[in-house]
Amino acid sequence: MKPVLRSQDIPLASLQKLLMPYTLEIATVAVQDSIPGSYWGGEEAGLIANRLYLRPDTPIHSALHEACHYICMDGQRRAALHTNAAGDYAEENGVCYLQIVLAGYLPEMGRERMWADMDAWGYSFRLGATRLWFERDAEDAQRWLLQQGLLTSGDQPTWRLRA
């Protein structure tokens, strides 16, 4: 297994274009600096207000995961967002599902790579693998995204934030 895809491995413009409809801005920091708003620290992406913070070594799966937290949280939490995205179990599953959907819109990543990177990083699902979860056990996550107006019935993003 090759290492996970990192922000230095893709053009920043690809990620900016993907996240533009969600009014999420990308801010970069030098590799030797701490990432502002990073809940987990280290190379993990950070969130403060509508800014997604990345270093060159930040995994793309982390960037999309945090971006999807921003997309999936309600407006009240989004207005006070600093570091801890919080959210409940249903929202966390929705975040994981949406990050896989959005990965399909990044030519440098795609769903297959996202599944592999999530597995390599240690995301855990009942069926033991991200792809198996997504294809066979994520109906609740998909339904939650549909109910929140974040996904269409055809499994396409609506490009809107949760109200």
Domain boundaries, the chain: 7-79, 89-147
- Whole-number pLDDT of residue 2: 61
CB distance 115 to 138 below 8 Å: no
Give the whole-angstrom CA distance, residue 36 versus residue 59.
15
- Whole-number pLDDT of residue 1: 47
Instruction: Specify the DSSP class assigned to residue 87.
Output: -
3-state secondary structure of 10: coil
Strands 51-54 and 46-48: antiparallel
- Whole-number pLDDT of residue 125: 83
pLDDT in tens, 51-66: 999 999 999 999 999 9
Record the pTM. 0.95
28's enclosing H/E stretch is strand 25-28
- Whole-number pLDDT of residue 60: 98
Low-confidence ranges of the chain (pLDDT < 50): 1
User: What percent of the chain is predicted at pLDDT more than 70?
Assistant: 99
- Whole-number pLDDT of residue 127: 81
10 Å CB burial of residue 102 (0-12, 13-18, 19+) is: buried
- Torsion angle in degrees (nearest 10) through CA of 49, 35, 122, 159: 30
